[in-house]
Amino acid sequence: MTGKGKRETGKVLLEVRDLHATVEGREILKGVDLTVKTGEVHAIMGPNGSGKSTLAQVLAGHPAYAVTAGQVLYEGKDLLAMAPEERAREGVFLAFQYPVAIRGITNAYFLRAAVNAIRRHKGVEELGPVEFMDALEEKLKVIGWDSSYLTRPVNEGFSGGEKKRNEILQLAVLDPKLAILDETDSGLDIDAVKTVAQTVVKLRRPDNASVLITHYYRILTHIAPDVVHVLAGGRIVKSGGKDLALELEEKGYDWLREAATVA
Amino acid sequence: MSSGIEAQVLQPYKYGFVTDIESETVPPGLNEDVIRLISQKKGEPEWMLEWRLRAYRNWLKMPEPHWANVQYGPIDYQAISYYAAPKRRPKLDSLDQVDPKLLETFEKLGIPIDERKRLAGVAVDAVFDSVSVATTFREELKKHGVIFCAISEAIREYPDLVQEYLGSVVPYNDNFFAALNSGVFTDGSFVYVPKGVRCPLELSTYFRINAESTGQFERTLIIADEGSYVSYLEGCSAPVRDENQLHAAVVELVALDRATIKYSTIQNWYPGDEEGRGGIFNFVTKRGACRGRGSKISWTQVETGSAITWKYPGCILQGDDSIGEFYSVAVTNHRQQADTGTKMIHMGKNTRSTIVSKGISAGRGQNTYRGLVKILKGAEHARNYSQCDSMLIGDKCGAHTFPYIDVRNSTATMEHEASTSKIGEDQIFYAKQRGLSAEDAVSMIVNGFCKEVFKELPMEFAVEAQRLLGISLEGSVG
């Protein structure tokens, strides 16, 4: 299961080279290398505290993280030189591990603002409320969800699972080139994991790519990643096919951690 | 964490221009002669002058109150000029005679007093310094029996109504600033809506301070007779000046049986610069009496301007089944200070009141909610619901809440909710990650926070309020 040959034809979308990053002066990423091509789905696994979420936040441009060394190219451009909103408008999407609530603003309003910010950036005409709702209804049908999410305030009073699903709804609507899902499957029941996975699969195209950060093998059974990486101690210590995930499920991370220390 | 949030960029106040117009200004200082002069200029009857003098003599004996959670240097009441008026005085019933400079001024402020450029369904009274310069749609309103004119005109033309109601809600000796206003008030609006009439237009007064070293002391009186309805909106602005200017207004509302008054304010006086230089001192007394059975008074305020805001629009719920409402958004950015809230005094049976207060503090702004809910002995089954929410932007500002509750009837039902939240880097980052700019993110978060209040504003003004809020907070995050 290595991506049905897509990997051979895809263009390099994201290239991370020797990335080092700190938070509050503590070095979390200690030289990450990662290449993602269009058409691919990558999974990043690894023990708690290995730097998975830090990698996601750094790629999205969270101001609390400082990049101390290395380079990130996105479509050949210097991603780290771009402001977070610019990265988003250029097609980088992060499904947050802990999405925040915005009181009084409906999901529909928020999504339209986001869609229009991106459209403005592309020089495409903005969508009015009616056109947007029509386009949204289409999208909802494609991913098989009802519209009750739209009239609720962004993540306000949402359960953990609803928040995660809401991230996936945003992913579907914004249709990015590079989607990074930061433990979107954590805290979801089995059915919800399946729905999330199916959505990711449905959105998969030869011109986009996804990076899934996860602790669990379960979601990968639905998605079939092209590459599985193990991030440990701030570095990618092993990469392989889908089978690597299964191996991790059985053996845990300790054997890799030891390998990393030796290396 | 707060590096970006703290970026302080001074947002130029967009209404800060000065109109170059010849005006007649009395020299600074306050004494009985000045009051006599004001009264004489307004062509007032003797009873009005007597009332003013009584107020002034009381004021002399009153100490300036300092219980509010605001700090400012001493106000020199003798350094203020108490009357300023454009020299070319138009006749109020003919817009053709209004000085084109004044028309232009209000045009620039987005307040067309030319009826041909009317705002849909809104009649405007434009007050420039101490005088009303134009009131639109008087004829149309007259057809319905609605009186909408400058208060100085009402004193001459409708003395019976004015004598009956002026000072009946806010007595001339009510408090220091109300007493000062009662002595020296120069203009303001008067509204009377007769029995059973639903006022066909939104009524609006726009107050503009222009002259230097002057104070503005307007007085508004609105009477809604039995079964009538009126929606009234006031707006205000002033030029950018380094000195502080005093604004001490009084607004009185009277709602008789089953009458409803909806009073909305968009307060945008000059707030001072980012170091706290200049700005309007806004000391205002606003009170409504729900005198009749089943009457209703609803206050909605959006306070974005002024260096100091001191105001507590309240309702005296005298009539059985009467309703009082207070919806407020107060924003303090840079060095602004606001101490604002409401007073709900329940006297009648089954009286109800609702308080929704949203305070937003940014920069070094200090925002205080101060509210009193009082249930008197006879107020059987009175109900109050209060909600006070504060939002902080950055870590150098402050939010304070002082809710006073005084219940003397055991059948009362009281609910109070309060919350404090902070716009964090995470919230802004989340919105940015979806492609929104920081400014749009803040504006969205703040507007979401204020939604319950904005929905109470008349449509056209809700849009204006949202825009104004965005401007007031521009530069508060990076």
Instruction: Decide if A85 and B451 are in contact by the 8 Å CB cutoff.
Output: no
Contacts of A63 in chain B (CB under 8 A): 3-4, 425, 429
Instruction: Decide if A114 and B435 are in contact by the 8 Å CB cutoff.
Output: yes
Contacts of B327 in chain A (CB under 8 A): none
Closest chain B C-alpha to A250 CA, distance in angstroms: 36
pLDDT of residue B4: 33
Strand intervals (E) in B96-172:
122-128, 131-135, 147-150
Instruction: Decide if B449 and A104 are in contact by the 8 Å CB cutoff.
Output: yes
Residue B74 neighbours by CB under 8 Å, 6+ apart: none
Chain A residue with Cα closest to B424: A100
CB–CB contacts below 8 A, A to B:
80
Residue A232 neighbours by CB under 8 Å, 6+ apart: A46, A47, A50, A253, A256, A257, A260
Give the tens place of pLDDT for each residue, B296-355.
999 999 998 889 999 999 999 999 999 999 999 999 988 999 999 999 999 999 999 999
Instruction: Decide if B448 and A103 are in contact by the 8 Å CB cutoff.
Output: yes
Q: Which of A88-102, A166-180, A181-195, B247-261 has the lowest mean pLDDT?
A: A181-195
Chain B residue with Cα closest to A64: B1
Instruction: Decide if B431 and A102 are in contact by the 8 Å CB cutoff.
Output: yes
Chain A residue with Cα closest to B450: A104
pLDDT of residue B434: 97
Q: Helix, strand, coil shares of chain B as percentages rounded to 5?
A: 25, 35, 40
Topology of the domain comprising A3-262: Rossmann fold (3.40.50)
Work out the pLDDT band at A260, boundaries 50, 70, 90.
Answer: low
Instruction: Decide if A94 and B433 are in contact by the 8 Å CB cutoff.
Output: yes
pLDDT of residue B447: 87
Chain A residue with Cα closest to B444: A105
Work out the pLDDT band at B10, boundaries 50, 70, 90.
Answer: very low
Instruction: Decide if B427 and A100 are in contact by the 8 Å CB cutoff.
Output: yes
Task: Specify burial of residue B206 (Cβ count, 10 A radius: 0-12, 13-18, 19+).
Answer: buried
Contacts of B444 in chain A (CB under 8 A): 102, 105, 109-110, 113
Give the tens place of pLDDT for each residue, A106-121.
999 999 999 999 999 9
Instruction: Decide if B436 and A100 are in contact by the 8 Å CB cutoff.
Output: no
Q: What is the amino acid identity at position A159?
A: S
Predicted model pTM:
0.83
Closest chain A C-alpha to B255 CA, distance in angstroms: 33
Give the tens place of pLDDT for each residue, A128-179.
888 898 888 877 776 667 777 788 899 998 888 889 988 998 999 999 999 9
Chain A residue with Cα closest to B427: A100
Mutate: best of A62, A103, A175, partner B, most B CBs <10 A? A103
Chain A residue with Cα closest to B4: A63
Work out the pLDDT band at A52, boundaries 50, 70, 90.
Answer: very high
- Domain extents in chain A: 3-262
Contacts of A109 in chain B (CB under 8 A): 444
Instruction: Decide if B449 and A114 are in contact by the 8 Å CB cutoff.
Output: no
Give the span between the Cα atoms of B297 and B287, in whole angstroms.
Answer: 10
B164/A143: higher pLDDT = B164
Instruction: Decide if B445 and A93 are in contact by the 8 Å CB cutoff.
Output: no
pLDDT of residue B304: 87
Q: Among residues of chain A, what percentage have pLDDT more than 90? A: 59
Instruction: Decide if B432 and A88 are in contact by the 8 Å CB cutoff.
Output: yes
Specify whether the CB–CB gap between A178 and A13 falls below 8 A. Answer: yes
ipTM passes above 0.85: yes
Contacts of A117 in chain B (CB under 8 A): 434-437, 440
Give the tens place of pLDDT for each residue, B123-139.
777 777 767 767 778 88
Work out the pLDDT band at B144, boundaries 50, 70, 90.
Answer: very high
- Residue B435 carries which DSSP code? T
Nearest to B342 by CA among B318, B364, B320, B359: B359
pLDDT of A197 > 80? The answer is: yes
Tokens of B470: 């965005």
Instruction: Decide if B436 and A99 are in contact by the 8 Å CB cutoff.
Output: no
pLDDT of residue B327: 96
